[in-house]
Each structure stands twice: as C-alpha cells, then as structure tokens.
Chains A and B, each alone.
Chain A
Amino acid sequence: MRIATLKTSYAGDEALFDTKLQRSLLALFGLVLAVFPFVAGPYWLFMACLVAINVASATGLNILTGYTGLVSLGQAAFMGVGAYTVAILELRVGTPFPVNLLAAGATTALVGAVVGLPSLRVKGLYLAIATIGASVILHFVFANWSLTGEARGLSMPPARLFGNDLDQPFELYWVIVPITAAMILGAANLFRTRIGRAFIAIRDRDISAEVLGIPLLRYKLTSFAISSFYAGVAGGLWAYFFRVVTPESFPLINSIFYLAAIIVGGMGTILGGILGAAFMTMVPEVLKLVVGWFSPYFPDALAALAPIRTIVFGALIVGFLIFEPQGLAEIWARVRRFFHLWPFKT
C-alpha cells in the first residue's frame, strides 16, 4: 500500500509524472508504441493512426469543453479548416508538411477565436448552438469557394520527408503518433500554468474567476484558439492520412462524435480524451470483429447482425454514462487506487 509520494526537491514537485512506477509504465507504453508498427498489419496501423488523429482532436475539445466549460459542436468544422489549409498549401504553395501542419493549426486557431466571440455572452446549450451556426457557415464556405474546390473538394499529394513519400499507414504512423503525443503532453502541461488554471477557474464559476482578476474575454478566446489549434493540426493530419478533403469529410455528426468521446472518456482529464477517442473509434471495429466470429455459424452474419452491432454500440455508451458518469478515466483511476491501497479496499 502506498500512503503518499514524498517529494524532496522542487524538480520532483514540478514533475508531471511523480512516481517511478508511473514513469516506467509510460516508458513501457512508449516502447510498445515504437514496436507496434513492426508487428501490426496495415489494418491495425490504419486504426492506430485514426485513433491518434481522433485523440488529438478530442484532447483539443477537452481543453475547451472539459477544462474551460465552453460547450462546442464546431470541432469537426475546425478540423475541416485545418484539413483545407493543409491541402491548399500543399497544392498551391508546396511548403513542407511540418510548416503546413503548423499553418493549419494557426489558421484554425484564428478562426476558432472568431467563432468563440459569442462565448462572452452565451453559455451552455446556447453556445453549442452558436458553434453549430459557425460550422454551417464554414461548411458553406468549403462547398462554395473555388479555393476549396467547391463540392468536389481537393485531392492532394502525400506528405514528403527527405524525398520520401509518406503515403502508407506505416510511414504516417511515425508522423501522426509523435505529434499527437507531443500535443497531449502540451495539454497536460497547460493545466499546470496560469493559463490552464484560469480555464479551470472559468469553468467552475466564471463570475468568481473574473473577480479573481481573470480577464474572461482573453481567456475564453485563448481557450477557443488553443482548442482550435488542436483541431486544426488534427485536421491537417487527417488530410495527409486520407489525401482527399471534401465538404462532406467533416459533417456535424463528427462534432457530436468528439463531444461523446470526451464525455465517455471523462471530461476535464487528459486521460479521458485519450480513452474516450480510442473507445469511440475502436469499439465499432471490435464489434465488427465479434460479428466476424459468428460468420462461420450464422448465414450472412454481416447483414443479419449489423443492426444489433449498432444497438450494442449505442447501449455501451448509455451504459457508461449510467454506471460510470465520470468516464473511462475514472475506471482507470479506480484501478490505480486498487493497487495503491492493496491489500486494503477502497
């Protein structure tokens, strides 16, 4: 049983991961991620990249909704801004892909800050509707601007690094996963700074936060900008991954997907965003695998069990909300507590 962690230095006090066990588990996880592409097939690599992109975007939304308390349904449209920025830069300017990704983040941050303006007046569901309005406008722009290729969208060449085309999940894995990891690390550190704490103060009670001297205008818009930066980079990665960006690539339902991901994962925790996005992306695929097992015994299991699969996925989400309202992150926390307190029980 562990009682507490003794910290004997400022460095120890500041550390993001404060125990040796945590650090070694993290190193082990890093090792697994590094070895994974060499043992997994293209399908699992594809899924890993997709999960990583969704994790990056969900983490961005978590900063805004989970930590700052501003509900947004514009995440998919923001990803679209990032994806289009990357595609346009790649096609028209030909700048290298790291520059394009940063530009995607920056452009989306700017758009996000503008979209965030209503957050100064409205909150909760009203803000959600305002962000839906913004995504409708963005979709209209995507579908009607000649620069964005109108309804047909844009097809782009693969990312290039040192003269090599990055067009396979195996190659893109080495771009997408490290960038996502860096973004998660950035988000985790953000909430140890004045800015991040101001976000949390605004979430908990914005009037009190203002009384404490936190300028709401600046911090709410900063939160929108940072969150959109994440969405923009995730959208840029998405564009390099699929290489076709159309107005239909980022429908409103995707925004709901990300919101559901952070709710299922656990709002206001970094781990929640990761687990939620992984859960929402992987569970439908795992359910397909399960259906696959029945195919030898069940005539046309694919068609017969498809509706059941959809229902099970929905039921799982509802089940989590009922039995674990604080999300998957809380389950993980409970598992950790179990081992910390062992042999005693919580």
Chain B
Amino acid sequence: MKKDQLIISKKNFSSRLIVGTGKYKSMHECAKAIKLSGAEIVTVAVRRVNITDKKKPLLMDYIDPKKITYLPNTAGCFNSKEALRTLRLAREIGGWKLVKLEVLGDKKNLFPEMIETLKSTEILTKEGFKVMVYCNDDPLMAKRLENSGACAIMPLAAPIGSGLGIINEINIKIIRKQTKLPLIIDAGLGQASDATIAMELGCDGVLVNTAIAKAKKPFQMALAFKNAVIAGRQSYLSGRIKKTLYGNPSSPKSGII
C-alpha cells in the first residue's frame, strides 16, 4: 500500500499534525509534548536574544532542528514590512526557506490582515521562500494566495487561541475542492475531535498550539491530537456513508422469527 504522507514543497512528512511551541510552562514540557504528538514540523517565533540572562535555555537545545522541521512564523507581525524582516532574519539563522506567514490585522480578534498577507506572499515567493500562509476561511482569498505562489493554504478554524473549533465547515470544504495545495487548518482548535473534523473535511493537516499547551494535561492532549488526526484522515480516505433522513437496520430483515 502506498504510504499516505503529507507533502509540502516536495518534502514528505509522516505526521499530519503540526504543533506550535508557544505557551508551554517550560521547554522541557514543550519538547515532551511534541514527542508525544508525533509532529515532525513545529512552528517557532523569531525574537531578540536575551542579552541580560545568558543562562536562559534555548529552544534549539531542547528541540533538535535536524530531527524536527522548524517552521519560522511571523506571529506578532501586523504589516508586511515586519513580516518580511522577520522571515529574512529567520532564513539567516540557518537557511530556513520553508516558512509560515502570518500577518495579523487586529490585536483583539487576531484575524489575518489579508491585503498585507497577499503582498508579503508575492514578495517572499520571489525571494525564493516556500510560504505556508495563514489566512481567513475565504475561498476567494485562498485562490489569490495560491496564484501568488503560496506552497500551503492555512485557513483559520476560528480566532487564534479561541478553542472554538471549525466555525465555517462549508468554506473549508469549498477551499478543499478548489485547491490541490496542502490545506492545513491553522488556528482555533480546542479539542482533539476538532482535528478529526478538519481531517474528515479533507484537510491535509492541522496546526495546533494552545489546545495542547494550555490543556490541563498537555501530554495526554498531545497524544489525543495525534490519534485524532490519524483517525480523521483514515475516516476521510475510507469514504463515509451517505446521510439519510430515515433509519436503515443493520440486521437482515429476512428470517425474523
């Protein structure tokens, strides 16, 4: 049987779960949760080195970028200029070309600023970046991103960190139908079953941070998400039954005593 893998920009991954590395109590907790989740890609942020506290642990000491793919993210950027600066620096750290673009438009709802996102996608693609793009669940904008050179479309399920799950299944289905690019649900998942739903809608993967990091038991939740993504993918590939209005007995109608 052919191996079912997630392929992003010609790179193959066995796991369809991408996890964020923020909001954990410690680096140790973060590293253990990632291991349990089975994720092969993790998002990371670019920030100033702490000059005053040199003993502060470094992410790379806990999560080996040779074993786990680092996906530099522009979280916290509110315009194209900031995002481009961040990703150019990320590339400089160690040659990272596969990046996640996230340009936010509003501090309260954290929705993406799509005009700036589109502009940044075009520039970054021209500069040789492979850009996975956080976006609204808007099929028209998703198409424009695809035409601008995005290597993956990453619509939100709901606002970042909200835990609301997939708000607009119809739009996700439409985006799925229109694109051959990897489609990865990026933000707003709250529990493992949300990931299963995303996968059953035909998404290629999900990205989860808060739902794992802030769960009462992050390790258990990491494992739950791992299993949920596998279950959802298998369910999607299995081809579900048609929904009917009335009952249809499972046992034969003939030979009833």
Chain B associates with chain A? no
